[in-house]
């Protein structure tokens, strides 16, 4: 039995080494994706293009604009004469937001609590018009709502004590890339691992190797195990590339133990590979297997917690997410890499991946019949 | 159940969504013989072989292979049979040696055993010196020898060959058959499918298949002796129009031009076919010749009147 598994492993490794394209993809996919997402994905919006409609002649108006500009959240690029023009500019997409300063700006400033100490019925001094279709942009502009004005008016600062202090663990500078890289690991592994094995059985069938193979004594389980073993190694190489390059290029810390990370990766790699194998026993052609891979890949990116927090999703979506190996790995890899957790702290996710692998192997073996009918 | 039968079937049938590919085929193939399936494409040769190797489940009928009921014992029987598929089914992107090593490991050959067996096969099938060549870059004849080496690596008692020579030139075909007789000499039973008459003639036993039905079964000589027609060759002018006239006669089973002669199959009921035919062919000369396997094939399949 071991000899037959070994036979399949050696065969797969030799075929893999002949396939330059696949060989190149093993290294290039993680590197390129890491660069792309590492630089591109950023949830802290900065330098949003903005415009101003200034209807007041107050001397404070330019100072308010300068203070906003200094916050780096917005970049004032245009002046508009009227609200109508400003709205048209937002519709066109010229700017994401417009600061409206009304004609009675000076009076409003005087009555504002930061100047008057709260003895008048307060009104906001101005208005932000925002393209709210993108929630990230809208949320960012909202942070300007409470911008203090004492600086602008040369008044002494008022000491306001926040109701709560927030201490940010693990990522004090709030850099998105720190959270992205360990998550990206899950996405890249899902993509490559499922893709490599989803074609494994179909390819043999399409190229006519299967008819010979099934008249030999090789058992379905031996064939399945032999087919995924070489790719376990490939997966571990990719983990090393992503985490290594993430550390060097993006200064992502690696706080957890290498052993915990290796174990978590191993579990996820095996789960993804068996998922690919199951696809391979369902698909009739290599094209179908590719389509099914994408069908798995998209929810793995969007529902696994890689892009959006798992907790924010509705219950039904969370159930779907729970079914995907990527969700469990995303949790584990972030916990280990960023929070120095141990696999033992994450035993539920680990057990789930283990169970998924076992059931997947069983299903693939049962679905793989050594018959042609 | 006779012990010296390698394959025995009763009423073996297979349907594919309502279409009967193999219909009630009875076979009794003697151990140690070379047995042929002769028939045109789509006559059920491959389907029969796939049922006998356990790849397809028969819709009806019983199959005994190497003395065991095939159903339920496929895995045990698979270790004792070899199968060379119609299409090359080894790996194009593996070398000759790597392909054979893979098969040897699958059959559980240990290292030393493997090395000696592979060396033996490489020299036997004239692949020595090509160990490192990728299978995909080899010629049809070389691929075929490699496939035969892989199919016989575990010394099967029973070897199935599905149209083994379809991608090979005539000279390689001769050589290939020499190898089959060598294997047969060592006690291997061989079942080979073909649509070449000259190959069929080399078999010890033969089944002629047409549209899934077994039309005849026996040794080539038996089949020729039992043929229900006599063969007369007509030489002379204007054979095309003579042929048109002759095939209209109910006693003429077939008339086919071969070079400058017309080969006429006359029903066996006619006592003296030469004399019977003389008035039909005007001044042309007649000669009575022994039947060939092709004549048997034509009379069995009844494909004469609309084909030839």
Would residue B248 count as lying in a domain?
yes
- Check pLDDT > 80 for residue A157: no
Selecting from B55, B93, B107 the residue whose C-beta is nearest the C-beta of A18 gives B93
Distance in Å, alpha carbon of A33 to nearest chain B alpha carbon = 29
Would residue B233 count as lying in a domain?
yes
Chain B hits for A10, CB-CB cut-off 8 Å, are: 101-102, 105
- Check pLDDT > 70 for residue A269: yes
Strand ranges of the sheet holding B252-258, from the earlier edge strand across to the other edge: B252-258, B261-267, B229-235, B285-289
Distance in Å, alpha carbon of B81 to nearest chain A alpha carbon = 8
pLDDT single digits (tens) A4-54: 999 999 999 999 999 888 888 889 989 998 988 888 877 777 889 999 999
DSSP per-residue string spanning B253-299: EEEEEETTEEEEEEETTSS-HHHHHGGGGTT-EEEEE---HHHHHHH
- Give the residue from chain B lying closest to A4, CA to CA: B106
CB spacing of A218 vs B106 below 8 angstroms: yes
Distance in Å, alpha carbon of A233 to nearest chain B alpha carbon = 21
pLDDT single digits (tens) B142-160: 999 999 999 999 999 999 9
Confidence of residue A238 (pLDDT cuts 50, 70, 90): very high
Q: Given this model, what pLDDT does residue A1 score?
A: 79
Distance in Å, alpha carbon of B258 to nearest chain A alpha carbon = 39
A39-43, A215-219, A359-363, B102-106: segment of lowest average pLDDT: A39-43
Give the mean model confidence (pLDDT) for residues A344-370.
Answer: 92
Q: Given this model, what pLDDT does residue A112 score?
A: 78
pLDDT single digits (tens) A271-280: 999 999 999 9
Would residue B14 count as lying in a domain?
yes
Token digits of residue B34: 């070379």
What share of chain B in percent tops pLDDT 70?
Answer: 97
Which of B105, B153, B156, B167 is the mutation pick for testing A, counting most A CBs within 10 A?
Answer: B105
d(CA B191, CA B205): 10
User: Which CATH number belongs to the domain containing residue B246 in this structure?
Assistant: 3.30.70.100
Q: Given this model, what pLDDT does residue A121 score?
A: 66
- Check pLDDT > 50 for residue A263: yes
Selecting from B55, B82, B88 the residue whose C-beta is nearest the C-beta of A371 gives B55
> Which fold, A48-142?
D-Maltodextrin-Binding Protein; domain 2 (3.40.190)
CB atoms near residue A363 (< 10 Å) = 17
Distance in Å, alpha carbon of A16 to nearest chain B alpha carbon = 9
Give pTM, 2 decimals.
0.83
CB spacing of A10 vs B57 below 8 angstroms: no
Chain B hits for A15, CB-CB cut-off 8 Å, are: 91, 93-94
Selecting from B55, B102, B134 the residue whose C-beta is nearest the C-beta of A215 gives B55
Token digits of residue B206: 């033969």
Confidence of residue B3 (pLDDT cuts 50, 70, 90): low
Token digits of residue B240: 């095309």
Q: Given this model, what pLDDT does residue A222 score?
A: 93
Selecting from B54, B87, B94 the residue whose C-beta is nearest the C-beta of A14 gives B94
CB spacing of B83 vs A212 below 8 angstroms: yes
pLDDT single digits (tens) B201-246: 999 999 999 999 999 999 999 999 888 889 999 998 888 889 988 8
Q: Given this model, what pLDDT does residue A353 score?
A: 96
Selecting from A3, A211, A214 the residue whose C-beta is nearest the C-beta of B108 gives A3
Chain A hits for B53, CB-CB cut-off 8 Å, are: 215
Whether B252 contacts B304, CB under 8 Å: no
Q: Given this model, what pLDDT does residue A148 score?
A: 80
Q: Quote the number of domains for chain B.
A: 2
Q: Are residues B34 and B68 in the same domain?
A: yes
Token digits of residue B63: 């199959």
Q: Are residues B216 and B271 in the same domain?
A: no
Q: Which residues of A touch B (CB under 8 A)?
A: 3-4, 6-8, 10-11, 14-15, 18-19, 207-218, 370-373
Q: Given this model, what pLDDT does residue B304 score?
A: 41
Strand ranges inside A199-265, DSSP E: none
What share of chain B in percent tops pLDDT 90?
Answer: 63
Chain A hits for B50, CB-CB cut-off 8 Å, are: 372
- Give the residue from chain B lying closest to A5, CA to CA: B106
Which of A2, A215, A227 is the mutation pick for testing B, counting most B CBs within 10 A?
Answer: A215
- Give the residue from chain B lying closest to A2, CA to CA: B108
Chain A hits for B107, CB-CB cut-off 8 Å, are: 216-217
- Check pLDDT > 70 for residue B308: no
Give the mean model confidence (pLDDT) for residues A327-354.
Answer: 91
Give the mean model confidence (pLDDT) for residues A149-171.
Answer: 80
Which SS3 state, helix, strand or coil, does residue B231 take?
strand
What share of chain A in percent tops pLDDT 90?
Answer: 53
Q: Are residues B47 and B30 in the same domain?
A: yes
Chain A hits for B54, CB-CB cut-off 8 Å, are: 215, 370-371
d(CA B286, CA B170): 32
Convert A311-324 to b/e letters by CB count within 10 Å (16 or more is b).
eebeeeebeebeeb
CB spacing of B56 vs A210 below 8 angstroms: no
CB spacing of B106 vs A212 below 8 angstroms: no
Token digits of residue A248: 């060097």
Chain B hits for A211, CB-CB cut-off 8 Å, are: 55, 83, 85, 87, 89
User: Which CATH number belongs to the domain containing residue B200 in this structure?
Assistant: 3.40.50.300
CB spacing of A215 vs B78 below 8 angstroms: yes
Would residue B127 count as lying in a domain?
no
Would residue B130 count as lying in a domain?
no
- Check pLDDT > 60 for residue B306: no
Would residue B125 count as lying in a domain?
no
Give residue B5's domain range. Answer: 1-77+196-226
Q: Given this model, what pLDDT does residue A161 score?
A: 80
Would residue B98 count as lying in a domain?
no
Confidence of residue B1 (pLDDT cuts 50, 70, 90): very low
d(CA A320, CA A324): 7
Average per-residue pLDDT in chain B?
90
Token digits of residue A120: 């008048």
pLDDT single digits (tens) A95-139: 999 999 999 988 888 887 766 666 666 788 899 999 989 888 888
**How far is the CA of B237 from the CAs of B246, B247, B253, B280, in angstroms?**
15, 17, 22, 14
Which residue ranges make up each domain of chain A?
A: 2-41+175-367, 48-142
Chain A hits for B102, CB-CB cut-off 8 Å, are: 7, 10-11
Give the mean model confidence (pLDDT) for residues B105-126.
Answer: 94
Q: Given this model, what pLDDT does residue A119 score?
A: 66
d(CA A98, CA A79): 9
Which of B82, B106, B158 is the mutation pick for testing A, counting most A CBs within 10 A?
Answer: B106
Q: What does DSSP say about strands B189-194 and B34-38: parallel, antiparallel, or unpaired? A: parallel
- Inter-chain contacts counted by CB atoms under 8 A, chains A and B: 79
Q: Are residues B36 and B1 in the same domain?
A: yes
Selecting from A7, A212, A214 the residue whose C-beta is nearest the C-beta of B105 gives A7
Confidence of residue B305 (pLDDT cuts 50, 70, 90): very low
pLDDT single digits (tens) A70-99: 888 899 999 999 999 999 999 999 999 999
Distance in Å, alpha carbon of B25 to nearest chain A alpha carbon = 19
Distance in Å, alpha carbon of B96 to nearest chain A alpha carbon = 12
pLDDT single digits (tens) B28-64: 999 999 999 999 888 899 999 999 999 999 999 999 9
Chain B hits for A208, CB-CB cut-off 8 Å, are: 85, 87-89
d(CA A282, CA B144): 32
pLDDT single digits (tens) B183-192: 999 999 999 9
Chain A hits for B55, CB-CB cut-off 8 Å, are: 211, 214-215, 370-373
Please tell me what DSSP assigns to residue B250: T
- Check pLDDT > 70 for residue B302: no
Distance in Å, alpha carbon of B235 to nearest chain A alpha carbon = 49
Give the mean model confidence (pLDDT) for residues B272-290.
Answer: 87
- Give the residue from chain A lying closest to B97, CA to CA: A11
Q: Given this model, what pLDDT does residue B220 score?
A: 92
CB spacing of A215 vs B81 below 8 angstroms: yes
Would residue B187 count as lying in a domain?
no
């Amino acid at each position: 039995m071991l000899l037959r598994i070994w036979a399949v492993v050696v065969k797969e490794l030799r075929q893999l080494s002949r396939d330059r394209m696949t060989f190149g993809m093993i290294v290039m996919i993680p590197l390129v994706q890491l660069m792309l997402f590492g630089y591109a994905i950023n949830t802290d919006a900065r330098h949003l293009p903005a415009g101003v409609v200034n209807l007041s002649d107050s001397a404070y108006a330019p100072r308010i604009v300068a203070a906003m500009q200094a916050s780096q959240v917005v970049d004032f690029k245009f002046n508009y004469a009227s609200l109508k023009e400003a709205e048209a500019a937002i519709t066109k997409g010229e700017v994401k937001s417009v600061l409206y300063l009304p004609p009675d700006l000076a009076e409003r400033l005087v009555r504002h609590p930061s100047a008057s100490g709260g003895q008048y019925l307060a009104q906001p001094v101005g208005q932000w018009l925002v393209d709210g279709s993108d929630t990230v942009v809208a949320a960012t502009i909202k942070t300007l709502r409470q911008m203090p004005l004492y600086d602008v008016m040369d008044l002494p600062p008022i000491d306001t004590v926040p109701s709560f202090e927030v201490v940010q663990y693990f990522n004090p500078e709030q850099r998105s890339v720190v959270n992205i890289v360990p998550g990206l690991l899950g996405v890249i592994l899902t993509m490559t691992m499922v893709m490599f094995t989803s074609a494994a059985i179909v390819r043999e069938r399409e190229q006519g190797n299967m008819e010979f193979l099934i008249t030999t004594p090789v058992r379905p389980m031996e064939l399945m195990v032999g087919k995924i073993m070489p790719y376990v190694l490939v997966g571990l190489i990719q983990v090393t590339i992503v985490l290594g390059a993430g550390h060097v290029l993006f200064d992502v810390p690696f706080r957890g133990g290498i052993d915990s990370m290796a174990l978590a990766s191993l579990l996820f790699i095996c789960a993804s590979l068996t998922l690919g194998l199951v696809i391979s026993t369902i698909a009739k052609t290599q094209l179908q297997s590719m389509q099914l891979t994408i069908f798995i890949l998209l929810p793995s990116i969007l529902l696994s917690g890689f892009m959006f927090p798992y907790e924010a999703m509705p219950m039904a979506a969370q159930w779907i997410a729970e079914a995907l190996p990527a969700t469990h790995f995303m949790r584990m890899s972030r916990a280990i890499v960023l929070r120095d957790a141990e696999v033992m702290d994450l035993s539920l996710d680990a057990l789930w991946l283990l169970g998924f692998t076992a059931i997947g192997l069983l299903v693939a073996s049962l679905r793989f019949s050594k018959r042609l009918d | 159940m006779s012990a010296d039968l390698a394959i025995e079937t009763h009423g073996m049938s297979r349907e594919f969504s309502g279409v009967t590919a193999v219909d009630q085929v009875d076979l009794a193939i003697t151990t140690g013989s070379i047995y042929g399936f002769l028939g045109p494409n789509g006559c059920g040769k491959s389907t029969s072989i796939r049922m006998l190797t356990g790849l397809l489940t028969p819709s009806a009928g019983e199959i005994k292979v190497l003395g065991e009921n095939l159903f339920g014992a496929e895995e045990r029987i698979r270790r004792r049979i070899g199968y060379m598929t119609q299409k090359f089914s080894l790996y194009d992107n593996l070398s000759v040696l790597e392909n054979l090593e893979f098969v040897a490991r699958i059959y559980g050959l240990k290292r030393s055993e493997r090395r000696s067996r592979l060396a033996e096969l490489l020299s036997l099938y004239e692949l020595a010196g090509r160990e490192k060549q990728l299978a995909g870059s080899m010629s049809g004849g070389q691929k075929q020898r490699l496939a035969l080496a892989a199919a016989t690596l575990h010394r099967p008692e029973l070897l199935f060959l599905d149209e083994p020579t379809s991608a090979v030139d005539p000279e390689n075909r001769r050589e290939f058959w020499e190898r089959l007789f060598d294997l047969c000499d060592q006690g291997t039973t061989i079942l080979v499918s073909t649509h070449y008459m000259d190959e069929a003639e080399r078999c010890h036993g033969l089944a002629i298949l047409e549209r899934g039905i077994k039309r005849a079964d026996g040794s080539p000589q038996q089949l020729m002796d039992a043929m229900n027609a006599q063969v007369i060759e007509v030489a002379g002018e204007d054979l095309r129009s003579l042929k048109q006239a002759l095939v209209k006669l109910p006693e003429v089973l077939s008339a086919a031009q071969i070079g400058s002669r017309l080969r006429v199959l006359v029903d066996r009921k006619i006592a003296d076919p030469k004399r019977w035919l003389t008035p039909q062919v005007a001044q042309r000369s007649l000669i009575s010749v022994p039947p060939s396997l092709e004549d048997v094939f034509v009379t069995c399949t009844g494909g004469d009147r609309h084909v030839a």
